């Protein structure tokens, strides 16, 4: 059985990582939506890096939760299971998932605006903010996709190919408001996939689901195992 799983910030909520649009999503007096843009970075790289430094520490201290682990188990059971994640926290990989497509990049990778080099930078907290390129000393930025930026081509293509061939398409913990990720369940549906959603709240996808599990991710994933069996 071919399965694709689209995950969003909600799957990491039980690991203590705040979602964007939830009530705990704010940081100080700033709106993350105003920080995760190339314009914000141009205006004030120090402020944006302070926010990322805070999130990196939070993610470093967090552990994958039951929902991440169940997905890793399912990947071993169903050899054709791919995770398409909007998360940048790397918790799927830490739970043991191997087939993970990161649509929005990864918080542990930086890229240099001067020389273009990309490398992993795992120090937390960072020694210097904003950090400087280890190759040329230029300004580096988090290698994540910000609002208004295109998605990495290869990841996007791979996620479409998994989506169109999926027989079951599972959506976990995403508000389905950020495109093109939010479009994937509809693409899957138009190709005849069964759509299963796990989310405590209703989303724009809910009316199109075959099964809607209105629970938090850990509880919902346990119910999902029984449905797939
Ligand atoms: P979002 O914040 O817009 O929506 C979160 C969704 O999760 C909501 O629909 C909410 O009802 C649901 N939710 C809350 N608690 C849940 C739980 N315990 N179990 C299951 N679902 C739960 O997040 P999104 O849709 O992923 O938004 C997209 C953007 O947010 C992406 O660009 C992503 O990179 C970014 N983001 C990522 C992280 C992370 O890496 N962990 C954290 C915050 C935001
Ligand atoms: Zn450089």
pLDDT 10s digits, 83-92: 999 999 999 9
The residue contributing the CA closest to ligand 1 atom 4 is 175
- Does the 1-17+64-104+151-229 domain belong in CATH 3.40.50.1100? no
Has residue 24 got a pLDDT over 90?
no
Average pLDDT score over the chain = 94
Q: What is the pLDDT of residue 22?
A: 57
Distance 20 CA to ligand 1 centre (A): 6
On the question of a common fold for 1-17+64-104+151-229 and 18-61+106-144, the answer reads no
Superfamily assignment of 18-61+106-144 in CATH? SIR2/SIRT2 'Small Domain' (3.30.1600.10)
Residues 6 or more apart in contact with residue 46 via CB below 8 angstroms: 129, 130
Q: Kindly report, residue by residue over 160-213, the tens digit of the pLDDT.
A: 999 999 999 999 999 998 889 999 999 999 999 999 999 999 999 999 999 999
Question: Is the distance from the beta carbon of residue 87 to the nearest atom of ligand 1 less than 6 Å?
Answer: yes
Q: Which amino acids are annotated catalytic?
A: 104
In this structure, the residue with its CA closest to atom 15 of ligand 1 is 10
For ligand 2, a single-atom ion, the residues with CB < 5 A are: 112, 114-115, 133, 135-136, 138
Angle at 48 between CA 178 and CA 112, to 5 degrees: 90
């Amino acid at each position: 059985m071919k399965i694709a799983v689209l995950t969003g910030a909600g799957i990491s909520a039980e690991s203590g990582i705040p979602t964007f649009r939830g009530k705990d999503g704010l940081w100080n007096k700033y709106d993350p939506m105003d920080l995760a843009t190339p314009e914000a970075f141009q205006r004030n790289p120090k402020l944006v890096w302070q926010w990322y430094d805070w999130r990196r520490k939070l993610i470093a201290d967090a552990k994958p939760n039951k929902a991440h682990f169940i997905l890793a188990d399912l990947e071993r059971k169903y050899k054709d299971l791919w995770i398409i994640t909007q998360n940048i926290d790397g918790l799927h990989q830490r739970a043991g998932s191997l087939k993970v497509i990161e649509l929005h990049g990864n918080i542990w990778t930086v890229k240099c605006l001067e020389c273009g080099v990309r490398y992993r930078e795992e120090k937390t907290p960072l020694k210097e903010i904003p950090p400087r390129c280890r190759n040329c000393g230029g300004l580096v930025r988090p290698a994540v996709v910000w609002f208004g930026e295109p998605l990495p081509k290869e990841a996007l293509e791979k996620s479409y190919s998994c989506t169109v061939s999926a027989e079951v398409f599972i959506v976990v913990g995403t508000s389905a408001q950020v495109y093109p990720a939010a479009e994937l369940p509809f693409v899957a549906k138009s190709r005849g996939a069964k759509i299963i959603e796990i989310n405590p709240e209703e989303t724009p996808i809910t009316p199109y689901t075959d099964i809607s599990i209105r629970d938090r991710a850990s509880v919902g994933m346990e119910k999902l195992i029984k449905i797939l069996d």
